[in-house]
């Protein structure tokens, strides 16, 4: 499972119709827990499809590139959407950055309360 916890948007890229749509799409994931080991890839592919449709409807502007990266452990990452450019620019303004992390485990409230125990076996 992955928890999508923070969405970073940018006012300069959110001024266009395309930017507003992409930022609203990303914001829908804020605070969402998604099951599945391939959740980031699957969500990225779905976002690519939506961006491709949006690119055909909004004729002006540049095409959109959506990608995701994971850290070396595979526990943390981000999905980012950029306007495609003909040059490499390290400070290019993305439409959004959607941060996520892998959930180690889940617990019910009683299980979480049991984690507060001072003793190893759960007894106090």
Q: What is the pLDDT of residues 96-108, one digit of tens each?
A: 999 999 998 888 9
Helix (H) or strand (E) run with residue 52 in it: helix 39-57
Residue 30 falls inside a structural domain: yes
Residue 90 falls inside a structural domain: yes
Residue 120 falls inside a structural domain: no
Residue 124 falls inside a structural domain: no
Residue 77 falls inside a structural domain: yes
**Total tally of structural domains belonging to the chain:** 1
Residue 24 falls inside a structural domain: yes
> 64-70 and 96-102: which strand pairing?
unpaired
Residue 120 has a pLDDT of 63
pLDDT at 124 over 60: no
Do residues 11 and 23 touch, judged by C-beta distance below 8 A? no
Residue 90 pLDDT level (bands cut at 50, 70, 90)? low
Its domain, for residue 14, covers 2-114
Residue 72 falls inside a structural domain: yes
Residue 54 falls inside a structural domain: yes
Helix (H) or strand (E) run with residue 18 in it: helix 17-27
Q: What is the pLDDT of residues 5-50, one digit of tens each?
A: 999 998 877 788 899 999 999 999 999 999 999 999 999 999 999 9
């Amino acid at each position: 499972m992955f928890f999508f916890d923070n969405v970073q948007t940018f006012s300069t890229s959110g001024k266009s119709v395309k930017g507003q749509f992409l930022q609203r799409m990303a914001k829908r994931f804020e605070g969402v827990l998604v099951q599945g080991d391939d959740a980031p890839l699957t969500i990225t592919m779905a976002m690519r499809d939506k961006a491709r449709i949006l690119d055909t409807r909004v004729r002006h502007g540049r095409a959109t590139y959506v990608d995701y990266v994971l850290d070396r452990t595979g526990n943390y990452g981000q999905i980012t959407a950029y306007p495609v450019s003909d040059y490499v620019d390290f400070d290019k303004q993305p439409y959004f950055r959607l941060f996520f992390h892998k959930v180690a485990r889940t617990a019910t409230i009683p299980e979480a309360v049991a984690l507060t125990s001072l003793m190893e076996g759960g007894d106090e």
